Amino acid sequence: MKKTLIILPLIALGACSSAPGQVFKSYFSEAGALVDGGNFGNANMNNTQIMTGEKSYVFDLSNRFANEVLTTVNFAFNDARLDAGAQDTLREQASWIRQFPEVKFKVFGHTDAVGSNRYNRRLGLRRANAVVAYLATQGISRDRLQAVVSYGEEQPLIVTQGRERRNRRTVTEVSGFVGTDPIDMDGKYAEIVYREYIVGAVPSSKLSSVVSGATGG
């Protein structure tokens, strides 16, 4: 019986692409490297924050803080001293902060555009440190307060190259929880965020919110 040898054509599987003429060479890299833009793991971190409630509750608490007290104080030109209006605002901030001992805060410093960026960054940081120091005198632990490296002149409220009091400011913001481990917090994020505010009434400074930014100089 005569045998016939059948030779089949070889199919090249070494490299293929959905785009004509494009070859993906991944022989020497990890599987999935082609689709990893360097953010692998961010989704898991985000999911963890969402599931524990930390991310959404920090956002909710930040909104509550901004709605119930003034978060901004202003400064005289080339100055980091707190005037009487700034001290009044910070006392109200401290009163609010004391109701939430589990929460941490950051203070961001800003300046107007007059002067060099390097000088203004230092000036903005001096302003942030002045606010942190004053809040500490009101019974707020420094462990819960951080004076952030100043944005200097980079985030103006009013776009101008001249002197502008509203740009010479600090902003106090909720930054997170003292105990970020879900076990430490024991699922109490929502309880903290929606805790009854003891003072209750709308702060008087809310009724005169323009005072701190009304004067120039």
Going edge to edge, which strands form the sheet with 169-177? 72-74, 169-177, 103-110, 145-152
* Pairwise CA distance, residues 147 & 131, whole Å: 8
Query: pLDDT at position 208, please?
Result: 46
Q: For 161-213, what is each residue's pLDDT tens digit?
A: 888 898 999 999 998 887 654 445 566 666 777 676 554 444 545 544 433 44
- Report whether pLDDT(19) > 90: no
Query: pLDDT at position 6, please?
Result: 61
Q: What's the distance, Cα to Cα, between the start and end of the chain in Å?
A: 109
Confidence of residue 123 (pLDDT cuts 50, 70, 90): very high
Query: pLDDT at position 213, please?
Result: 43
Query: pLDDT at position 155, please?
Result: 82
* Residues ≥6 apart with Cβ < 8 Å to 206: 69, 70
Beta bridge partner(s), residue 176: 104
* Residues ≥6 apart with Cβ < 8 Å to 210: none
Considering the segment(s) 54-207 as one domain, its CATH architecture is: 2-Layer Sandwich (3.30)
User: Quick one: tokens of 217?
Assistant: 């100089």
Most confident of the following: 13-22, 44-53, 60-69, 135-144: 135-144
Beta bridge partner(s), residue 148: 108
Query: pLDDT at position 17, please?
Result: 46
Share of the chain above pLDDT 70, in %: 57
- Report whether pLDDT(61) > 50: yes
> Average of pLDDT values for 118-133?
94
- Report whether pLDDT(140) > 50: yes
Q: For 81-114, what is each residue's pLDDT tens digit?
A: 999 999 999 999 999 999 888 889 999 999 988 9
- Report whether pLDDT(55) > 80: no
**Residue written as tokens 């005072």?**
211
